[in-house]
Amino acid sequence: MPSSISQPKDRLPAGLKRDPAYFFISTRPAENVKNEISLTMGFGLKEASEAKLTVGTQTFALYTKSEGAWVRNVADEGKMVEALRKGRDVTVVSISARGNTTTDKYGLAGIAQALDRVAQECK
């Protein structure tokens, strides 16, 4: 399963104990999945909460479950991927199971090249 993967460059609040977080964009041709966006937050998320992903001036809603987050509206994934290709960074705001508002910021340097490579390898 080819994926583009990144870890946050900034995590706030800084003092919280958390496992590593990852931002994924996955393509699974056998399952007819292209550029599926998901996150592993590195901590339990508040049940029935939403996270918010912002890239540039665009904001997207994410649904959460356990330690993961996915795009709420699948129709937005294409718009999100285009925004990611053009953006400098992406910010994800979520609420932990303990009630802490957390902010993770990921750099997007090289994302367009990584997505192009995945597209080439997954024809």
Q: What's the pLDDT tens digit per position in 29-49?
A: 888 888 889 999 999 999 989
Helix/strand/coil for 105? strand
What is the average pLDDT value for the chain, to the nearest integer?
Answer: 90
| Chain length of the chain | 123
pLDDT of residue 1: 47
Query: Which of 21-25, 37-41, 95-99, 111-115 has the lowest average pLDDT?
Result: 111-115
Query: Which of 5-14, 15-24, 88-97, 113-122 has the lowest average pLDDT?
Result: 113-122
- By CB atoms closer than 10 A (0-12, 13-18, 19+), residue 17 is exposed
Confidence of residue 4 (pLDDT cuts 50, 70, 90): low
Q: How many other CB atoms sit within 10 Å of the CB of residue 6?
A: 19
pLDDT of residue 110: 86
Q: Taking residues 94-114, what's their average pLDDT?
A: 92
* Residue at token pair 């995590």: 11
Domain 3-121 falls under CATH 2.60.40.1880 = yes
Query: Which of 7-11, 83-87, 103-107, 111-115 has the lowest average pLDDT?
Result: 111-115
Question: Is the link from the previous residue into 8 a cis peptide, with omega within 30 of 0?
Answer: no
